[in-house]
Amino acid sequence: MMGYNHALTGAAAWVAVATTSANVPSLGLIHVEPWQLLTGTLVCAGAALLPDLDHHSATIARSVPVAGRMAAGIVNTASGGHRKGMHSLLAIVACWFVTGWVGTLTWSPNWWHQALPAAGVFMIMALFAFATRALKIAKSWPLAWQLGTIGSAAMFLFLPDQLGWFQLCVTVGFATHILGDFLTVGGINWLWPLTIKAPKFTHKIHGLNRLWKRNGYVSLPIVGRTGSLAERVLGAGCALYAMAGLAASALAAA
Ligand SMILES: [Zn+2]
């Protein structure tokens, strides 16, 4: 899937998890204020781009000149290649724990009356930047980073204690990306580093050989190939759903 559509599925996923409005179908797993729903939607959209840091031409690999591609190269090597370690159940679990740990790293400057979750500030800034750029809200990376800086600074300076949703939000975004790739023809190896290849007798069974492949990847290819019409329809549906959820939440609070 393209970065734009990954970001839209991430945005919709957070609305699905965190909207409690009766007017929009949702899971309502966590109660958040309308501003947290909005910022969480952007954070989740940005997190939905993270697994592709294992690919040198992914949207976020271009976020910082040179360093972005270098980071992508390191992640690619460390995770075994594109759509391997970063696209697995293990990565989702790791994302949960790493994000939780990041949230505990604080900084106590002299000029502020309480400890600031410094690493969290940076992570939210980056995720805001990724989301605004991928969603084409920002037309360039410098503008995306400016929006990320302003958004994250405002959040942490005025509401530093209200980040209970952060760990869940990032992990939901990360997992949504992998689910999105599962819907493409390439599929996913959920169990990486374990690979369970499809048995030989299934190779010629039409249909089944698209769901469970010789290389061990599994797929539910309703979205087809990257950039397909089905993918764009899914992205548009997610955009409409996210906007409906945000609007319902804002109206309920008004
Ligand atoms: Zn991917």
Report how far residue 221's alpha carbon sits from residue 219's, in angstroms, rounded to the nearest whole number. Answer: 6
Q: Using alpha carbons only, how large is the chain's radius of gyration in Å?
A: 19
What letter would DSSP give residue 212? Answer: B
Q: To the nearest whole number, what is the mean pLDDT of the chain?
A: 90
Q: What is the 215 CA–ligand 1 centroid distance (Å)?
A: 17
Cβ neighbours of 205 (radius 10 Å)? 12
Instruction: Spell out the SS3 assignment of 170-206.
Output: HHHHHHHHHHHHHCECCCECCCCCCCCCCCHHHCCCC
pLDDT of residue 101: 92
Going from the Cα of 83 to the center of ligand 1, the distance in angstroms, rounded, reads 6
Q: What is the pLDDT of residue 30?
A: 81
Give the number of other CB atoms < 10 A from CB of residue 233. 12
CA of 10 to the centre of ligand 1 (A): 13
Rounded CA gap, 198 and 217, in Å? 8
For range 115-133, the mean pLDDT: 90
What is the per-residue pLDDT for 159? 64
Question: 214 alpha carbon to ligand 1 midpoint, in Å?
Answer: 20
Dmax over Cα atoms in the chain, in whole Å? 68
pLDDT digits (tens, 9 = 90+) for 55-110: 988 888 988 988 999 999 999 999 999 999 999 999 999 999 999 998 888 888 88
CA of 27 to the centre of ligand 1 (A): 25
Distance, CA 75 to ligand 1 centroid (Å)?
A: 13
Q: How far is the CA of 51 from the centre of ligand 1 (A)?
A: 6
Q: What is the pLDDT of residues 204-235, one digit of tens each?
A: 888 888 889 888 899 999 998 888 999 999 99
CA angle 38, 13, 166 (to 5 degrees): 55
Domain interval for residue 86: 3-253
Residues 126-139 have a mean pLDDT of 95
Quote the number of domains for the chain: 1
What is the per-residue pLDDT across 146-159, written as a single tens digit (0 to 9) for each? 999 998 888 777 66
